[in-house]
Each structure stands twice: as C-alpha cells, then as structure tokens.
Amino acid sequence: MTIAQTETTHSGRTGTARHFLMCRPEFFTVSYSINPWMDPAKGADNATALLQWESLREAYESLGHTVSLIDPIEGLPDMVFAANGALVVDGRVYGARFAHQERAAEGPAYLEWFAGRGYETLEASFTNEGEGDYLTLDDMILAGTGFRTDVAAHMEAQEFLGRPVVTLRLVDPRFYHLDTALFPLDGGNVAYYPEAFSAGSRRVLARLFPDAVIASAQDAEVLGLNAVSDGRNVVLNGEATGLALELERRGFTVVRVDLSELRKAGGGPKCCTLEIR
Ligand code: ARG
C-alpha cells in the first residue's frame, strides 16, 4: 500500500487541488456600513488585515492550491472579498452586480479580469453577489436570497451555467450572504447554521443533506461557516472550536486561520476566496 492510499484510508477523505482568485487588502478599511458587522467609528487596522490575509494565502499554497491575484483598487475597501466578484463554473463566468452602490465598481473589475484571460463571461441583469450567495456542489448550486442576491438572478445563473440552482432564504441580517451560514464540505454534503434560514429552506436543507454538519450559534457568530474545504482540508476561522472538533471527528483535517480583522467588515476565509472552476 502506498502512503497516499494509507492516508486516504485513515481519513476517509480525498482533497482536490483548487484554483483560487484573491485580492490583497491594500485598501481595506471599514469606512461605511452595509452589514451589522461593520462599524465605521471603530474602523479596522489595515496592517493587521494584510498579515492575516497573507497567512490565508500561504495556507492555500501549502495545501497545494493555486492562488491568482487581482489588483486591488483604491476606494474599494471591500474588494478583498473576492468571493463576491463572480461565480465561475466549468470555465463560465457569471458576473456580480452588487446590491450596494459602495461596491458597484467591483463587478466590472472582476469581470474584466476574467474577460482579459479568455473566459466566457456574462454581465448579469439581476443583483447578485457572486460566490457570496452561490455555492457549487457536484449536482447543484445552492443560492441565497433575502439580503443581497435577487431571486431572479438564481434563474439567470441556472440558464447560463446549466446546473440546477436551489434557492435558500436567509433571515438573519448577521448572515447576509449564503457563505456566512453554509459551506460545502465536498461535492455532495454541507455544513450549515439552521437558524440563519427560513423554516421552508431549513426543510429543504434537511431533505437534501440528511448527513450535514450542523453548526452552533457560537460557531456561526465567529463566521465559522465562512470556510473553504477541498474535500479533505477545511480552512476555518480558529475561533469556531465546536465546528472544528466535529469536522475532525468526521475525518477532515482542519487548518485554522485568524481573520479577525477582516471580520470587522463581516468577512472570513471564504469571503476572501473566489474559486475558479
Ligand atoms: N463588507 C462586505 C459586504 O458587506 C463583506 C463581504 C463578505 N463577503 C462574503 N462573501 N460574505 O458586502
């Protein structure tokens, strides 16, 4: 038996190498408030955010993932949250159209990055915040609505990408994007915080994912659900201790990161990460 087989047998989990797009938080600050985490009076420390972001990038690279970079733009402090820039599935890029004027210019900036590299792109007709509200599994895309992404954009993404889109309604303003309340563990299962969803959406989630990891309020409140899994390794906010234990119990390897400075804008590891599929 080779070492690789031993490892797979031991953990029961297999990871796959990913390609991520990230944006260095050179101009990151909290100067406006568009979610309950953001307090412009308190602001955020740019140097700390840069160090924390670098450690996230290093974590990805040490796991064998590829990280590409988009240039940050002055005056767009939230551009570090690359997840919101687009949704990329099978090399097709569905562009973001932001709900708030403060972030509007980020959509075209991300779309231009992809168009310039030969990707097929679609400029969205409806408000949507990219992978913040769309999470891709093997057989479907889970899509959030309620705070940012318009439900009409769910249909638009389905038509463009040719994968079934399942609408989920978010109800707690602290969990304003789907990726603050749920993350894919692999191509077929998820972890989530039920209380962030409407009663009907909870029933949908229970039906689709009977074996899901259910997170506690404590895990959700440190943005523990804003995590990135490659199928085996889960990059997770270190404060989400209960969630980390449960993931390890299930055979995942937890890679703890500290993105507390970026959390002052309502973001975590997943928010900083756009997957290029
Ligand atoms: N301040 C940003 C906003 O409210 C944070 C975005 C976090 N991104 C995410 N994918 N959840 O839009």
Residue 3 has pLDDT above 90, yes or no: no
Query: Which residues line ligand 1 at a C-beta cut-off of 6 Å?
Result: 34-35, 38, 78, 81, 83-84, 103, 132, 177, 179-180, 265-267, 271
Looking at the predicted structure, is the pLDDT value of residue 23 above 90? yes
pTM of the full structure? 0.95
Task: Tell which atom from ligand 1 comes closest to the C-alpha of 131.
Answer: 10
pLDDT in tens, 101-142: 999 999 999 999 999 999 999 999 999 999 999 999 999 999
Pocket test for ligand 1, best of 106, 271, 272, 275 (most atoms within 8 A of CB): 271
CA 123, 127, 129, 135 dihedral sign is negative
Residues 34-55 have a mean pLDDT of 97
Distance 75 CA to ligand 1 centre (A): 16
Give pLDDT, residue 11: 67
Domain segments of the chain as ranges: 13-275
The CATH homologous superfamily for domain 13-275 is L-arginine/glycine Amidinotransferase; Chain A (3.75.10.10)
Q: Encode 169-189: b = buried (16+ Cβ within 10 Å), e = exposed.
A: bbebeebbbbbbbbbbbbeeb
Task: Find the mean pLDDT for residues 16-31.
Answer: 98
Dihedral of alpha carbons 171, 146, 238, 79, sign = negative
Is the model's pLDDT at 228 over the cut of 60? yes
How sure is the predictor about 12, in pLDDT bands with cuts at 50, 70 and 90? Answer: confident
Mean pLDDT of the chain: 95
